[in-house]
Amino acid sequence: MAKGYSLHIGLNFIDPQHYAGWDGRLIACEADAKDMELISRSLNYNNTSTLLTANATINNVATEIKKAATDLENGDIFFLTFSGHGGTSTDLNHDELDTHDETWCLYDGQVLDDELFELWSLFKEGVRIIILSDSCYSGTVSRARHYGLDTDTNIDTVNNIRYKFMPLEIAKRTYKNNINFYTNKVKHVIKNKNSIELKCSVKLISGCQDNQTSADGDINGYFTAKLLEVWNEGKFRGNYKDFYEKLKSIMPPTQTPNYYNIGITNTEFDNQKPFTIQDIIIPVRTLYVEDPIFPSSRSNVTDVIIEQIKREIEKTLEPLAQGNEGYVRCENLELNGTNLKARVLIRHKHKSNGITIYAAKTWVDIDTDVMNPDPEDLKVCINSPIGNICITLADLIKLIATLLL
């Protein structure tokens, strides 16, 4: 059974002792991390950690990531989110076209994109990593003047908007004040660069393009707020690319989210519903009614989805229970991957001249692959007290397929 680990990082301020007297005050980053944590918990992640502000240190973040790399195996997922300032550091290993390494500003110092890449290399083959970064990266900080921002505060003084990047002047002073610290970081990266190879699959959805800025907010960062809107408490249906395209469609051209993949290509990962441990979520408990004719087995979707599918089946087959008191009840439901088996009881109950007449029970069996149904499976007919009645299941099967995406 696949496992899910998650780590959610949010910094409302950083240590001014490291960042040349600048604390990078923001408002909503801790709230962003807590909201991302709620998504993980709603998806039944096995291990969820949250590091806020002063606890979001270089060592703590690395420790949590390394723990996930040690524990997770082929088929498992690591869900990492960051909300805070993006920064820049001089590119001493010459792997960046703009001569700067992109960074996350953690509480006690910046972590380089090269260091993060090295951490991803610790994960085993077949592990999936999804990263959400509500921050700005190096392309944005060098454009502070273009946006009319104060280069010492990153604030749009006209519109009173705080942006999530380290101002250029602060970045220069921070590097100068901590030159040995950052030089040693890069020396380590250079030493290990040729031996680093990714065996896992990594997806990144970030808050903006490298030539744009990510805005903070009063409740959530702008990117996180829109992401939560698209996620819609888990009601979103589609894969990662669908999610990104929907997110991009509701964000302004001045802040366009970025999406890219590194590491091993994993088409199953590509086609899964975002953030889920499996494409079909791991069960909370088995839900079925024992029937010797139709033996049940452990379901591999949540009770909520099982109950929803049952209700949709009953609603679709309701016309088969002709009569003013007839009813339909889905007695059994079994889902193995995308194969659906259901046993439905149809009971006809009529009143005539004050006398209740019960018809015999009729059982309808549904057995089909909802992703590739046989045309013969898309029609159900029964002989009711008022004649032969047929129902098409095409729309029902399409709906169930959507629920399982």
Q: Look at 378 and 104; give whichever has higher pLDDT.
A: 104
CB 49 within 8 A of CB 61: no
Highest mean pLDDT among 94-108, 230-244, 254-268: 230-244
User: Residue 216 to residues 120, 188, 250: CA-CA distances in angstroms?
Assistant: 28, 33, 17
Return the structure tokens found at 389.
Answer: 């009645």
Mean pLDDT of 220-237: 90
Evaluate if residue 24 carries a pLDDT over 80.
Answer: yes
Strands 379-384 and 387-392: antiparallel
Return the structure tokens found at 317.
Answer: 């087959």
CA distance 46 to 162: 35
- Which residues, other chains included, contact 174 with Cβ-Cβ below 8 Å and sequence gap of 6+? 18, 19, 20, 22, 87, 110, 166
Domains in the chain, ordered, with CATH?
A: 4-270 (3.40.50.1460), 303-404 (no CATH)
Length of the chain, please?
405
- According to the model, what pLDDT value does residue 87 have? 79
84-98, 260-274, 374-388: segment of lowest average pLDDT: 84-98
- According to the model, what pLDDT value does residue 95 have? 45
CB 52 within 8 A of CB 31: no
- According to the model, what pLDDT value does residue 114 have? 83
- According to the model, what pLDDT value does residue 193 have? 58
Predicted TM-score (pTM) of this structure: 0.62
In this predicted model, what pLDDT tens digit does every residue of 369-378 receive, in sequence order? Answer: 878 877 777 7
Evaluate if residue 292 carries a pLDDT over 50.
Answer: no
Evaluate if residue 146 carries a pLDDT over 90.
Answer: no
Evaluate if residue 155 carries a pLDDT over 50.
Answer: no
Evaluate if residue 389 carries a pLDDT over 80.
Answer: no
8-22, 72-86, 166-180, 381-395: segment of lowest average pLDDT: 381-395
Q: Quote the radius of gyration of the chain (alpha carbons, Å).
A: 27
3-state SS, residue 229: helix
- According to the model, what pLDDT value does residue 214 have? 54
pLDDT classification of 92: cutoffs 50, 70, 90: very low
Helix axis angle, 222-231 to 29-42, nearest 10°: 20
